[in-house]
């Protein structure tokens, strides 16, 4: 009984905390500052990713001019696919849905994964027109290294 009371108290405290955070973030200036900080942080992360990829691939100036616009387009399309996957997974909770509805959500996620694979195949062929196969492999390794480093940093912050 005491445990249930503690859980209710924590839930109420958490709900109040969320309410306060929501109220603070709806005020114009703090929201603008938080958004600016977030944008700056995203820019720093993207700059770090570019630096790691540039370092690992040893691109010539000619390769750079062909590679980066293509890579940025690829990365944007991949981010859109990942957002769509997260939206399905996070927004369409299985609770209270029929098995058929949940199965439809799973199929949507699988279709998006296939779309990502098709995108990777398509862009691999495009990349091979401006960089070597060894550099494409290094690109995949550099992306993995960057993602691992980012995850470690996030773990250290929390």
Q: What is the pLDDT of residues 73-102, one digit of tens each?
A: 999 999 999 999 998 888 766 677 778 888
Which pLDDT value is given to residue 140?
95
Banded pLDDT at 34 (limits 50, 70, 90): low
Residues 149 and 122 in one domain: no
Residue 22 has pLDDT above 60, yes or no: no
Please tell me the number of Cα atoms within 13 Å of 82 on its side-chain side: 6
**Based on the structure, what is the number of domains in the chain?**
2
Residues 126 and 69 in one domain: yes
Residues 117 and 153 in one domain: no
Residues 110 and 98: beta-carbon distance below 8 Å: no
What integer best gives the mean pLDDT of the chain?
80
Give just the sign of the alpha carbon dihedral 131, 136, 141, 147: positive
CA distance 17 to 23: 10
Banded pLDDT at 17 (limits 50, 70, 90): very low
Residues 38 and 143: beta-carbon distance below 8 Å: no
Residues 12 and 66 in one domain: no
Which pLDDT value is given to residue 12?
40
Residues 32 and 51 in one domain: yes
Residue 113 has pLDDT above 70, yes or no: yes
Which pLDDT value is given to residue 41?
86
State the DSSP string of 104-136.
Answer: HHHHHHHHHHHHHHHHHHHHHHHHTTTS-HHHH
- Owning domain of residue 113: 60-130
């Amino acid at each position: 009984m005491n445990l249930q009371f503690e859980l209710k108290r924590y839930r109420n405290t958490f709900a109040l905390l969320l309410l306060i955070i929501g109220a603070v973030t709806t005020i114009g200036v703090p929201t603008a500052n938080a958004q600016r900080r977030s944008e700056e942080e995203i820019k720093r992360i993207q700059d770090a990713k570019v630096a790691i990829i540039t370092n690992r691939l040893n691109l010539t100036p000619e390769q750079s001019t062909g590679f980066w616009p293509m890579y940025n387009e690829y990365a944007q399309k991949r981010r859109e696919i990942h957002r769509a996957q997260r939206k399905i997974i996070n927004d369409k909770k299985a609770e209270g849905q029929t098995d058929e509805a949940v199965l439809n959500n799973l199929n949507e996620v699988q279709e998006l994964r296939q779309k990502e694979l098709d995108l990777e195949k398509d862009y691999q062929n495009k990349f091979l027109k401006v960089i070597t196969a060894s550099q494409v492999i290094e690109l995949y390794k550099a992306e993995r290294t960057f993602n691992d480093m980012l995850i470690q940093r996030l773990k250290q912050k929390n």
